[in-house]
Chain A
């Protein structure tokens, strides 16, 4: 079974440029998460989807970040415009959803963003 797929793995951009990250969750997983992970820190939730609905986006900086999960499968996270402080690893994870009592999360390899 394929795991969570993310692309690109690495991205280097100049500040004020837009950037987008793509995530394909494990087949059948209803819940999808986007996390921000700074160097030496734990993941911090940006947004969580249950199918195509964003049910927790309280930590998403909505002035520059946006996300979508059309058709409840793949998801895209966008930053426009990027700032120096956005340099981090962006992790995508998926889980079965509410049908699973403990909701184990499966993580993708992440996208390392460097903003110059």
Chain B
């Protein structure tokens, strides 16, 4: 069974500094997708960044980048130049197409990030 593990329940970072959130997953599949979602205190969850497993190049979206290590089954999120608005819960998620017409989507337990002024 696929699992997603986020080992850091809470983290804090000073404004303008860089922080890395870790995520590991377990799967025997080779074709899948990985995501980081952000859930601010208002609770509406939004996609931060995604990574296709078949791509070796790490995804980047402005201040957000990932370190995808397929062999180690690791998918960490780096936030550069942290801003107060980055304060939120961050969820790592795994999606795997199972058979034609269906797929499995699993979320980790989340990391609560607080950016300090």
Contact = CB atoms under 8 A, between A and B. Distances in A.
Interface of A: 3, 33, 40-45, 50, 55-56, 89, 91, 93, 98, 102-110
A107 B95 contact: no
- Identify whether the interface residues of B are mostly helix, strand, loop, or mixed: strand
A42 B109 CA distance: 4
Among B37, B42, B43, B95: residue with most chain A CB under 10 A: B43
Interface stretch (B12-20, B64-72, B74-82, B99-107): B99-107
A83 to B, nearest CB: 23
Nearest to A91: B45
A14 to B, nearest CB: 24
Interface residues of B, number: 24
Contacts, number: 51
B51 to A, nearest CB: 9
A109 B47 contact: no
- Identify whether the interface residues of A are mostly helix, strand, loop, or mixed: loop
B84 interface: no
Nearest to B105: A45
A43 B50 contact: no
Given A50-B101, A55-B101, A102-B95, A107 B44 contact: yes
Given A55-B101, A102-B50, A102-B95, A41 B43 contact: no
B86 interface: no
Contacts of B102: 55-56
25 contacts: A3-B44, A40-B9, A40-B109, A40-B110, A41-B109, A41-B110, A42-B4, A42-B93, A42-B107, A42-B109, A42-B110, A43-B107, A44-B107, A45-B105, A55-B102, A91-B45, A98-B101, A103-B33, A104-B35, A107-B37, A107-B45, A107-B46, A108-B44, A109-B42, A110-B43
